[in-house]
Structure 1
Amino acid sequence: MKKIGIFYNFQTHKTKQQVKKIIKQLGEKYVEEVNLDDATHQDVEKFDFFIFAVPTWFDGELPYYWDEFLPTIEDDDLKGKKFALFGGGDQKKYPEFFVDGLGIMAEFIEKRGGEVVGFTSTEGYNFESSRAQRGDQFVGLALDIENQAALTDERIEKWVADLKKAFQVK
């Protein structure tokens, strides 16, 4: 089995904490961390399975490091590759843009033929709108560390159990 590439910015404290929990539950031998500050087109070529950590900034924007990385794979054909997305948002301060980054990333991946896996329920969240919402699900794992920190570990555990099936991890 090929390793799962988990792409995130190593300087993001909250995201890094969640990445460590995900890696522990998936199993370290299955995962390779990739720092977005150093990521290249070749990093995408070597994986079939991906986890992208995509927090939402401000009024529904991608963080600058994703804006800088995505052009390097803009012309890639992602067919046959599976992507799981997770990221943080704030339901209270930005209820009209809650985890929009996940939706932006899902659209980017799907336009290039990639498959997004790891959808999660919108139940238990209180927000106005989200580009990450499809019906009663998010296109990935939505985390709100600011307002629902007590639910984070349980949400990660359930999400990772689903990813193990999608990524063929035993």
Structure 2
Amino acid sequence: MKKTIVIYGSSTGTCQSLAETVASKLGVESLDVANLTEDVLKENDNLILGTSTWGSGELQDDWYDGLKMLKAVDLAGKTVALFGCGDSESYGDTFCGAMKELYDAVQDAGATVVGAVSTDGYTFDDSDAVVDGQFIGLALDDVNEDDKTESRIDAWLESIKSSL
């Protein structure tokens, strides 16, 4: 596996915990996006980016500066995988929608995005993070479906490992 880092934005600790789980399973470091630098983006071949979704589908607050950085750096030749956390019951109409902002930014910056996930087995009304019938990354609801979190992470990591 090429040099990989997990970068997350978390307000309540849920996304941080998920990021740390992903990083631990891959044997790599995790980094709060508030501490992100352009050097980190340049030094890593693979970026695994995680965010929670707030309000009507917005990114976690710390990601806004990180998003500017993603847009400013050339990510050509880099592989990016996305994960998001949300609440599919209370916010079923914007479930994990913030992943889409990260997706658009890294695609525009030239990265290759991997790790789309089928919507099968999820209960939600709508999500900007669904493109061509699939989530653009791993969607997690650790509030209502925490019993599925571990198996979803494991299956997702298995599906992206060959690309990393």
**Fold-level similarity (TM above 0.5):** yes
Aligned counterparts of 2:84 and 2:43: Cα–Cα separation in 1: 23
Which among 47, 63, 67 is matched to residue 44 of structure 2? 47
Secondary structure at the aligned position of 1:126 is classed as coil
Q: In the alignment, what sits opposite 1:99? A: 96
User: In the alignment, is residue 4 of structure 1 matched against residue 4 of structure 2?
Assistant: yes
Q: In the alignment, what sits opposite 1:56? A: 53
Q: Identity of aligned pairs, percent?
A: 33
Specify whether residues 135 and 10 from structure 1 end up closer, same or farther in structure 2 by C-alpha distance, changes over 3 A only.
closer
Residue correspondence of structure 1 range 1-170 to structure 2 within 5 A: 1-9=1-9, 12-26=12-26, 28=27, 31-167=28-164
Secondary structure at the aligned position of 2:128 is classed as coil
How many residue pairs align between the two structures? Answer: 164
Q: TM-score by structure 1 length?
A: 0.89
Tell me by how many angstroms 1:10 deviates. Answer: 6.9
Aligned counterparts of 1:55 and 1:155: Cα–Cα separation in 2: 16
Task: Work out whether residues 123 and 136 of structure 1, in 8 Å CA contact, stay in contact via their aligned partners in 2.
Answer: no
Give 1 or 2: higher strand fraction: 2
Tell me by how many angstroms 1:51 deviates. Answer: 0.5
Runs of 4+ in 1 over 6 A off after TM superposition: none
Tell me by how many angstroms 1:12 deviates. Answer: 4.7
Tell me by how many angstroms 1:45 deviates. Answer: 0.5
CA shift digits 1:24-60 (9 cap, x unpaired): 322x2xx122221221111101011010011111210
Secondary structure at the aligned position of 2:80 is classed as strand
Worse overlay, 49-58 or 34-43:
34-43
Task: Work out whether residues 85 and 102 of structure 1, in 8 Å CA contact, stay in contact via their aligned partners in 2.
Answer: yes
CA shift digits 1:13-33 (9 cap, x unpaired): 21222123212322x2xx122
Worse overlay, 151-160 or 122-131:
122-131
Structure 2, gaps ≥5 residues long: none
Task: Work out whether residues 39 and 69 of structure 1, in 8 Å CA contact, stay in contact via their aligned partners in 2.
Answer: yes
Secondary structure at the aligned position of 2:49 is classed as strand
Q: TM-score by structure 2 length?
A: 0.92
Tell me by how many angstroms 1:147 deviates. Answer: 1.2
